Amino acid sequence: MNLNSHFNLQRCIGCLAMVYSFLACSSPSTDQANKSASQKELSPQEVSEYLIEQNRAVIEAEFKAIREFVDSSGIAFNGLGNGMYVANVGGHGHTQIDTGQVVKVYSRIMNLYGETYMDGIHQDIRVLRDNDAIWGLQEALIRAHLGDSLICVIPASLAHGVSGDFGDIPPLTSLVYYLRILQ
Protein backbone atom coordinates (compact mmCIF):
# COMPACT_ATOMS: atom_id res chain seq x y z
CA MET A 1 0.00 0.00 0.00
CA ASN A 2 1.52 3.34 -1.00
CA LEU A 3 1.59 6.37 1.33
CA ASN A 4 -1.23 8.18 -0.46
CA SER A 5 -3.70 5.30 -0.22
CA HIS A 6 -2.57 4.62 3.36
CA PHE A 7 -3.22 8.26 4.33
CA ASN A 8 -6.62 8.22 2.57
CA LEU A 9 -7.52 5.07 4.50
CA GLN A 10 -6.68 6.89 7.74
CA ARG A 11 -8.88 9.80 6.70
CA CYS A 12 -11.75 7.37 6.12
CA ILE A 13 -11.21 5.84 9.55
CA GLY A 14 -11.30 9.31 11.09
CA CYS A 15 -14.52 10.16 9.26
CA LEU A 16 -16.08 6.85 10.26
CA ALA A 17 -15.14 7.54 13.88
CA MET A 18 -16.91 10.90 13.70
CA VAL A 19 -20.02 9.31 12.17
CA TYR A 20 -19.94 6.57 14.80
CA SER A 21 -19.65 9.20 17.51
CA PHE A 22 -22.66 11.04 16.13
CA LEU A 23 -24.71 7.86 15.92
CA ALA A 24 -23.63 6.67 19.37
CA CYS A 25 -24.53 10.00 20.95
CA SER A 26 -27.97 10.18 19.36
CA SER A 27 -30.08 7.35 20.68
CA PRO A 28 -33.71 7.89 19.69
CA SER A 29 -36.14 5.44 21.24
CA THR A 30 -36.99 3.98 17.81
CA ASP A 31 -33.34 2.95 17.31
CA GLN A 32 -33.25 1.24 20.68
CA ALA A 33 -36.48 -0.60 19.97
CA ASN A 34 -35.09 -1.91 16.68
CA LYS A 35 -31.86 -3.25 18.20
CA SER A 36 -31.68 -6.97 18.71
CA ALA A 37 -30.88 -8.42 22.08
CA SER A 38 -27.62 -9.81 20.69
CA GLN A 39 -26.16 -6.35 20.03
CA LYS A 40 -24.21 -4.82 22.87
CA GLU A 41 -24.74 -1.12 23.44
CA LEU A 42 -21.53 0.72 24.25
CA SER A 43 -21.44 2.81 27.36
CA PRO A 44 -20.46 6.48 27.00
CA GLN A 45 -17.06 5.60 28.52
CA GLU A 46 -16.52 2.82 25.95
CA VAL A 47 -17.50 5.15 23.10
CA SER A 48 -15.08 7.75 24.44
CA GLU A 49 -12.24 5.23 24.71
CA TYR A 50 -12.94 3.92 21.20
CA LEU A 51 -12.85 7.41 19.70
CA ILE A 52 -9.66 8.31 21.56
CA GLU A 53 -8.05 5.11 20.25
CA GLN A 54 -9.13 5.94 16.68
CA ASN A 55 -7.85 9.53 16.97
CA ARG A 56 -4.50 8.31 18.26
CA ALA A 57 -4.21 5.91 15.34
CA VAL A 58 -4.90 8.69 12.83
CA ILE A 59 -2.38 11.03 14.48
CA GLU A 60 0.28 8.30 14.65
CA ALA A 61 -0.24 7.49 10.97
CA GLU A 62 0.00 11.19 10.06
CA PHE A 63 3.24 11.62 12.03
CA LYS A 64 4.64 8.49 10.37
CA ALA A 65 3.81 9.88 6.91
CA ILE A 66 5.42 13.21 7.83
CA ARG A 67 8.52 11.45 9.17
CA GLU A 68 8.80 9.38 5.95
CA PHE A 69 8.51 12.58 3.88
CA VAL A 70 11.19 14.33 5.93
CA ASP A 71 13.53 11.32 5.92
CA SER A 72 13.21 10.74 2.17
CA SER A 73 13.61 14.40 1.17
CA GLY A 74 17.37 14.66 1.65
CA ILE A 75 16.82 18.09 3.26
CA ALA A 76 18.09 18.96 6.75
CA PHE A 77 14.80 19.60 8.56
CA ASN A 78 14.62 20.68 12.19
CA GLY A 79 11.80 19.26 14.29
CA LEU A 80 9.99 21.82 16.43
CA GLY A 81 8.64 19.28 18.93
CA ASN A 82 5.00 19.76 17.90
CA GLY A 83 4.99 17.47 14.85
CA MET A 84 6.19 20.26 12.57
CA TYR A 85 9.50 20.37 10.66
CA VAL A 86 11.23 23.41 9.16
CA ALA A 87 14.26 23.67 6.88
CA ASN A 88 15.94 26.95 5.99
CA VAL A 89 16.98 26.44 2.38
CA GLY A 90 18.23 29.89 1.48
CA GLY A 91 18.30 33.55 2.18
CA HIS A 92 19.58 33.40 5.74
CA GLY A 93 18.50 36.90 6.64
CA HIS A 94 19.92 38.74 9.64
CA THR A 95 16.84 40.54 10.97
CA GLN A 96 14.80 38.29 13.28
CA ILE A 97 11.03 38.52 12.80
CA ASP A 98 9.23 39.89 15.85
CA THR A 99 5.77 39.21 17.29
CA GLY A 100 3.18 41.45 15.67
CA GLN A 101 5.47 42.41 12.78
CA VAL A 102 3.83 42.43 9.36
CA VAL A 103 5.84 40.38 6.89
CA LYS A 104 5.32 39.79 3.20
CA VAL A 105 5.51 36.13 2.20
CA TYR A 106 5.40 34.29 -1.10
CA SER A 107 4.35 30.67 -0.83
CA ARG A 108 3.46 27.45 -2.58
CA ILE A 109 1.33 24.98 -0.62
CA MET A 110 1.32 21.24 -1.31
CA ASN A 111 0.48 18.02 0.47
CA LEU A 112 3.04 15.34 1.37
CA TYR A 113 2.47 13.59 -1.96
CA GLY A 114 3.19 16.56 -4.24
CA GLU A 115 -0.35 17.72 -4.99
CA THR A 116 -0.32 21.52 -5.24
CA TYR A 117 -3.15 23.39 -3.53
CA MET A 118 -1.98 26.97 -3.98
CA ASP A 119 0.94 28.41 -5.91
CA GLY A 120 2.34 31.90 -6.07
CA ILE A 121 0.42 33.21 -3.07
CA HIS A 122 1.52 36.65 -1.86
CA GLN A 123 0.36 37.50 1.66
CA ASP A 124 0.95 40.11 4.32
CA ILE A 125 0.92 38.32 7.67
CA ARG A 126 1.00 39.91 11.12
CA VAL A 127 3.10 37.37 13.02
CA LEU A 128 1.21 35.68 15.87
CA ARG A 129 -1.62 38.19 15.39
CA ASP A 130 -3.16 37.13 12.06
CA ASN A 131 -6.34 35.06 12.34
CA ASP A 132 -6.23 34.20 8.64
CA ALA A 133 -2.83 32.48 8.78
CA ILE A 134 -2.63 28.89 10.02
CA TRP A 135 -0.86 28.31 13.31
CA GLY A 136 1.93 26.24 11.75
CA LEU A 137 2.84 29.13 9.45
CA GLN A 138 2.86 31.47 12.45
CA GLU A 139 5.19 29.05 14.31
CA ALA A 140 7.62 29.04 11.38
CA LEU A 141 7.59 32.82 10.97
CA ILE A 142 8.32 33.64 14.62
CA ARG A 143 11.52 31.58 14.34
CA ALA A 144 12.61 33.03 10.98
CA HIS A 145 14.44 36.07 9.64
CA LEU A 146 13.54 38.50 6.88
CA GLY A 147 14.84 37.11 3.59
CA ASP A 148 14.74 33.44 4.65
CA SER A 149 13.48 30.71 2.34
CA LEU A 150 11.82 27.91 4.29
CA ILE A 151 10.25 24.55 3.68
CA CYS A 152 7.72 23.87 6.43
CA VAL A 153 6.06 20.50 6.96
CA ILE A 154 2.94 21.19 8.99
CA PRO A 155 0.66 18.52 10.51
CA ALA A 156 -3.10 18.92 10.06
CA SER A 157 -3.51 19.92 13.71
CA LEU A 158 -1.43 23.07 13.03
CA ALA A 159 -2.96 23.65 9.60
CA HIS A 160 -6.66 23.37 8.72
CA GLY A 161 -7.46 20.41 11.00
CA VAL A 162 -10.51 18.19 10.59
CA SER A 163 -12.47 20.81 8.64
CA GLY A 164 -9.98 21.59 5.87
CA ASP A 165 -10.26 25.08 4.46
CA PHE A 166 -13.72 24.52 2.91
CA GLY A 167 -12.18 25.05 -0.51
CA ASP A 168 -8.90 23.76 -1.83
CA ILE A 169 -7.43 21.86 1.11
CA PRO A 170 -9.19 18.67 2.29
CA PRO A 171 -9.73 17.80 5.95
CA LEU A 172 -6.89 16.16 7.90
CA THR A 173 -4.24 17.22 5.39
CA SER A 174 -0.61 17.72 6.36
CA LEU A 175 0.86 20.59 4.37
CA VAL A 176 4.24 21.41 2.89
CA TYR A 177 4.80 25.16 2.61
CA TYR A 178 7.54 26.43 0.34
CA LEU A 179 7.91 29.88 1.79
CA ARG A 180 9.96 32.94 0.90
CA ILE A 181 9.91 35.74 3.46
CA LEU A 182 10.28 38.94 1.47
CA GLN A 183 12.05 42.04 2.78
What CATH number is attached to the domain comprising 103? Answer: 3.10.50.40
Residue 4, pLDDT above cutoff 50: no
What range does the domain containing 100 cover? 78-182
Q: Give me the sign of the Cα torsion angle 21, 23, 28, 29.
A: negative
DSSP 8-state class, residue 145: B
pLDDT in tens, 82-101: 999 999 998 777 889 999 99
The span from the CA of 84 to the CA of 134, in Å, is 13
| Residue 141 confidence class, pLDDT cut points 50, 70, 90 | very high
Instruction: Mark whether 111 and 177 lie in a shared domain.
Output: yes
Whether 35 maps to a domain, the answer reads: no
**At 50, which helix (H) or strand (E)?**
helix 44-73
pLDDT at 87: 95
Instruction: Mark whether 157 and 122 lie in a shared domain.
Output: yes
pLDDT at 39: 67
Instruction: Mark whether 82 and 139 lie in a shared domain.
Output: yes
Are the C-beta atoms of 153 and 174 separated by less than 8 Å? yes
pLDDT at 71: 96
Instruction: Mark whether 23 and 96 lie in a shared domain.
Output: no
Residue 124, pLDDT above cutoff 70: yes
Domains held by the chain: number: 2
Instruction: Pick 61 or 34 by higher pLDDT.
Output: 61
Nearest to 14 by CA among 61, 62, 60, 54: 54
Instruction: Mark whether 54 and 87 lie in a shared domain.
Output: no
Nearest to 161 by CA among 148, 152, 172, 170: 172
**Mean of the pLDDT values across residues 73-81?**
94
Instruction: Mark whether 68 and 91 lie in a shared domain.
Output: no
Instruction: Mark whether 135 and 175 lie in a shared domain.
Output: yes
pLDDT in tens, 35-47: 544 567 889 999 9
**Mean of the pLDDT values across residues 47-74?**
94
Instruction: Pick 45 or 5 by higher pLDDT.
Output: 45
Nearest to 179 by CA among 156, 158, 151: 151
Residue 143, pLDDT above cutoff 60: yes
